[in-house]
Chain A
Amino acid sequence: MSLPEMLAGRLPVGSQLEAIAYVSPEQSVGTGRVSLPAPLRRAAVAVETGTDLAQTSDLHLLLIPADAVEEADWFGPVQQWVAGDGASASSEPPRESHLLTLQHVRIHWSPRRIAIIGAPERLPSLRRVVLECTWYIRELDAIERELAENWPSLDSDLDQAYIYDAPADQDREEIARRFKAVFRLRARLARVAPHLLSPQLYPPTLASQVGERLRERLRLEQREEFVSDQIEVFEDVYEMCGQRASEFRHARTVNTLEIIIIVLLGVQILFSMFEILTASAVEASVEPATPARVESTVTAGN
C-alpha cells in the first residue's frame, strides 16, 4: 500500500503502510497474519489495496525502520497523520492519539492509525503486540459504546422488573433480545478480560513492555472494571424482568386453565338451570285452567 501524500518521500527507505483487517481465523486472506489468542477467534492480516477487505479495513499501520533516538523532521507529520489531521484525512476529526517511547522505539497510536518506528529487527514483534493490544482496546471500546446506547432501554425496562402485566408482556420478545444482548456483551468482555488484566510477563521483553504501557496509557484495567460493573446492573435488571415474565406467563397459563374449567362448570350449571327452567315451563303449560282463567278467556272471546 502506498504511503500517504503528506509522508511520501519523507520517510526512511523500507517504510511501509499496511491496511489491517481483523478477520476470522478461517479466512485465508491477506499477509503478515497475527493470530490472536484462541478464545477471541480473530486474526489480524495486512490486506492488499483494491480488495473488498481493504475498503473496510479496521486500521492502518505504518512501519518505519529507523532508530528513534534522535528527533527526525518527519516525526511531526507522522504524529499528525496518526492523529488524523493531515491533508489526506482532512474530513476526519482529530483522534485521541498516544505516543509511547521505549528503548529506541517510538509508537504513535490512535484507534485507526498506528505508526511504529524502531529498528527493523524489532518491528515484527512490535507489530504483533500492537495489533493484539489494539484488538483488545477496540473490543472494550465497542462494549462501552453498546452499553452506553442501552442505558435508555434499561430505564424504560426498569418498571417491568417490578410490575409485569399484560401490556408489558407484549414487549417480552424485545426484552428477551436485550437480555441476550447483555449476556453477549458479558461473554465478549469475559473473553477479552484475561488479556487486559493479566500480570506483567517476567522477564519482561520489549514487546511485553509496549503492551503493558499501552494498557496503562489507555487505563484498560480500570475501564474493564467499570464496564463489568455496568454490565452487572443490566444483568440484575434483565434477570428480574426475566423472572417476572416467567412468573407472569406461568400464572396466566394457570389462570387461563382455571377459567376454562370454570367456564365448563358454568356450562354444566347452565344445563342444570335449563333443565329446571324447561321442566317448570312444561309443568306450567299442563297446569289445569282455573275458573278465573276460564272466565277471562270467555270474556276475551266475547
Chain B
Amino acid sequence: MRYYSVDILRAVAIVVMVFVHFAENLSQVLLPFAGLGAPMFALLSGVSYRLWVNGQEARGVAAEQVSRISVRRGLFVFGVGIAFNVLVWLPEDTFNWDVLTFIGSALLILNLLRPAALPVHMTIAVASLAIAPVLRYMADYPSYWQAGYFECDLTLNDVLVGYLTTGYFPLFPWLTYSIAGYVIGALMLPQRLPGEAAPRPAVISTGRVVGIGALLLTLGQLALSLHPVWPEMIAERVLTGWSMFPPSTEYVASTLGMGLILLGLLHRFVDQSPRDLSGSGALRLAKVFSRNAFTLYIAHHVVHLWPLWIVASFEGRETTYHWRRALPLGWSMTLAAAFLLLTYVLLRRVDPDRRYGIEGWMRWLCDH
C-alpha cells in the first residue's frame, strides 16, 4: 500500500537536500533549513522498510526470502554509496560515510532485528542515541574533522571509527532514526496479513505519534535552551548544542520529533482523508520525487559537482578548485529549481514505469 504521507515527506526531504547541496557546494551558503532533509530521509528509510516488509508478508512471501531480498538491497545501497563516494566525491573520499552507506547499513540491521519484538528495537534506538556522545568522546571526534570536513587516514581503525561514529553519517546515532521509523511504521500504519481482505487497524493512533514527536521536540529544544547552564562536562561531551556534524543529542531528538509530528499529521489528514486525493497535482509531484528519491539523490550530486571537477581539470587546476565558489547563491538556487523541474518532466515522460532509475536497478538485481 502506498501512503501519500511518506511520499510527501520523502519528496520534501529530497527537495530540501537538493537546494541545500546546490547552495553549499556551488556558493558556500548554508541555507536555514540545512540539516533537516537527511534526518527525514533516514526516518523514512525505516518507515519504508517496514511498509515493504508488510507488503511482502501480505503477499505471503516467506520470511527467509524477505531476509534474502533485504540483505541484497542493503548491500546494493551500501555498494552504490561507496561507488557514489568514489565517483562523485572522488577516490580520496571513498570512506567519508555518506547517507547512502548509512541507509544500506541500516537496512541490513533492520533485517537482522525484524524477528525481534519491538521493545528490542526501541532499546537499540535509545542505546544508539545514548552511546553516540560517549563514542565520539572516546574517538576524539574533533581530530577527524579538519576545517569542517571529515578527514580520515586510510587505515582500518580510522575507517571503522568513521563508519561507527565520526563520519558524515555514522551508524551511531543515525541508526536511531531508521529504527524509530521502523517502529512507527509497525505501530501506526495498518498491516494486512495473508488471506485477510482488510488491513488490521493501527496499534497506536496518529495522535499518539504526534504526541511522542512533540515530546521529543520539546525535550530537544529544552536541552538546547538549557545548554548555557549545563555543567561543563555535560555541555562539552553529551549535550553539545545544535549541530549536525556531529549529530548532537538535541539535534537528533528535535529532528526526530519533527519527523514524527509531520508523519503523524500527514497520515491523519492526507492518508486518512475521506476525500480522493489521487488527482492532486501536488501529490503526483510528491509521488514522482518520492519514488525516485534514490536516483535524484545521486543525480543532483552528479549534475552540480561533476562540472566543477571537469572544468577545473581542463583549466589545469586542482579538481576541487571551483568547489563552493563557482556561482552566486541566486544562480545556485535557480539551477536547483531547474534541476527539479527537468527531472520531474523527465521522470514523468521518459521513465513512467521506473525501470531506468537506481530504484529500478535495485529491484531488478535484488528482488528475485
Contact = CB atoms under 8 A, between A and B. Distances in A.
Contact of A260 (B120, B138, B158): B120
Given A267-B131, A277-B161, A278-B139, A284 B153 contact: yes
A281 B134 contact: no
Interface stretch (A36-44, A133-141, A251-259): A251-259
Interface in B115-130: 116-117, 119-120, 123-124, 127
A280 B153 CA distance: 12
B161 A274 contact: yes
Contact of A259 (B116, B134, B157, B164): B116
B193 interface: yes
Given A271-B134, A274-B138, A284 B155 contact: yes
B160 interface: yes
- The B contact surface, by secondary structure, is helix
B120 A256 contact: yes
A267 B165 CA distance: 13
Report which residue of A252, A255, A259 has the largest number of chain B beta carbons within 10 angstroms of its beta carbon: A259
A284 B159 CA distance: 14
Interface in A241-282: 252, 255-256, 259-260, 263-264, 267, 270-271, 274-275, 277-278, 280-281
A252 B116 CA distance: 9
Which of A170, A252, A263, A277 has the most chain B CB atoms closer than 10 A to its own CB? A277
Interface residues of A, number: 19
Contact of B117 (A255, A263, A271, A275): A255
Contacts of B116: 255-256, 259
B160 A256 contact: no
Contacts of A167: 57, 193
Contacts, number: 56
A267 B127 contact: yes
A260 B117 CA distance: 10
B127 A256 contact: no
A259 B120 contact: yes
**9 A-B pairs with least C-beta separation:** A281-B157, A259-B120, A256-B117, A277-B157, A260-B123, A280-B157, A274-B138, A256-B119, A278-B139
Contacts of A284: 153, 155, 157
Given A260-B120, A267-B127, A274 B157 contact: no
Interface of A: 167, 170, 252, 255-256, 259-260, 263-264, 267, 270-271, 274-275, 277-278, 280-281, 284
B285 interface: no
Query: Which of B124, B155, B157 has the most chain A CB within a 10 Å cutoff?
Result: B157
A147 to B, nearest CB: 24
Interface in B47-79: 57
Contacts of A255: 116-117
B155 to A, nearest CB: 6
A271 B138 contact: yes
Contacts of A274: 135, 138-139, 161, 164-165
Contacts of B161: 274, 277-278, 281
Contacts of B131: 267, 270-271
Nearest to B128: A267
20 contacts: A170-B193, A170-B200, A255-B116, A256-B120, A259-B117, A259-B120, A263-B123, A267-B127, A270-B135, A271-B134, A274-B135, A274-B161, A275-B138, A277-B139, A278-B138, A278-B139, A278-B140, A278-B157, A281-B139, A281-B155
